[in-house]
Chain A
Amino acid sequence: DADVTQTPRNRITKTGKRIMLECSQTKGHDRMYWYRQDPGLGLRLIYYSFDVKDINKGEISDGYSVSRQAQAKFSLSLESAIPNQTALYFCATSGWGGYTFGSGTRLTVV
C-alpha cells in the first residue's frame, strides 16, 4: 500500500456541487498538507495541519475547507465548486525525511 493514499484519483463535477477529496497516510506523521498544482504556477499550499487539533490556512484557502478526522486522515472540501478550481490536488505528510506526496486527484469542474 502507498504511504499516502488519495481518493478519488479523478473526478469530474459540476459547478456549484460540493465535493470532498480524501487523504490517508500510514507514515505516522502528525503534519499533513493539501496543495494545488496548476501549469506554470507550481504547487500552492491550500491548508495544513500539524496535529488533529491544529488547522491552518495556506496561501490559497478561499473556497476550500478541511477536516482532520484523525492523525492519519485529512480531507479537503470544495463547498461550491467553480471552474477555476479545476486542478491537480496533492495531499502530503512531512516528518524527518521531508515530504511524502500522494499520487494526486485530478479534479475537473464543468
Chain B
Amino acid sequence: QQQVKQSPQSLIVQKGGISIINCAYENTAFDYFPWYQQFPGKGPALLIAIRPDVSEKKEGRFTISFNKSAKQFSLHIMDSQPGDSATYFCAASIRSGGATNKLIFGTGTLLAVQP
C-alpha cells in the first residue's frame, strides 16, 4: 500500500513533442505528490508538486494532472527540449505539520529528447 508505481521506465520523444509519465498509488492518505528531475551526477531536484484538492497544476511547460478517484497522477512536458533529457521520479507522502514527510518514490523514467 506504500508503493508508487511509475511508467514507462524509459521514453524517447522528438524535440517539440509532448512527454507523458504516469504514476499510480494505493494509499489514500497520501496528500502531497511531487515530481523530481535528476540529471546525471546530480541529486534529484523538485520540479513541480500538487495537492489532491486540485486536478491540475501548471508551471511553464510542465503540468501535473491528478485524478483522485483513479489514484493516478501524471507529468506532461509540453514542447519537450533536449535539455529536458533526464530521469524523472514521481513521489508521494503524507505531510505533517506543513513540512514534507518521508517520500515514497516511483522507480523513475529515463527521458531522452531527440533533436
Chain B: CB-nearest residue to A92: B43
Interface band, chain A: 20 to 34
Chain B: CB-nearest residue to A30: B99
Task: Give which listed residue, B2, B41, B45, B99, contacts A96 with CB less than 8 A.
Answer: B99
User: Residues of B contacting A59 with CB < 8 Å?
Assistant: 2
User: Residues of B contacting A44 with CB < 8 Å?
Assistant: 105
Say yes or no: B101 contacts A94, CB within 8 Å: yes
Task: Give which listed residue, B41, B101, B102, B108, contacts A42 with CB less than 8 A.
Answer: B108
Say yes or no: A99 contacts B46, CB within 8 Å: yes
Q: Interface residues of B: mostly helix, strand, loop or mixed?
A: loop
Task: Give which listed residue, A4, A42, A95, contacts B43 with CB less than 8 A.
Answer: A4
The interface on chain B, measured as residues whose beta carbon lies within 8 A of the other chain's beta carbons, has a size of 24
User: Residues of B contacting A74 with CB < 8 Å?
Assistant: none
- Which chain A residues numbered 30 to 45 have a C-beta less than 8 Å away from chain B? 31, 33, 35, 40-45
Say yes or no: A98 contacts B105, CB within 8 Å: no
Say yes or no: A98 contacts B102, CB within 8 Å: no
Q: Is B98 interfacial (CB 8 A cutoff)?
A: yes
User: Residues of B contacting A102 with CB < 8 Å?
Assistant: 43
User: Residues of A contacting B28 with CB < 8 Å?
Assistant: none
**Could you say which of B101, B102, B107, B108 has the most chain A C-beta atoms within 10 Å of its C-beta?**
B102
Q: How many angstroms from the CA of A87 to the CA of B114 in the assembled complex?
A: 29
Chain B: CB-nearest residue to A39: B108
- Which chain A residues numbered 89 to 105 have a C-beta less than 8 Å away from chain B? 90, 92, 94-99, 101-104
B→A interface (CB under 8 Å)? 2, 6, 9, 34, 36, 41-46, 49, 89, 98-108
A→B interface (CB under 8 Å)? 4, 29, 31, 33, 35, 40-45, 48, 58-59, 90, 92, 94-99, 101-104
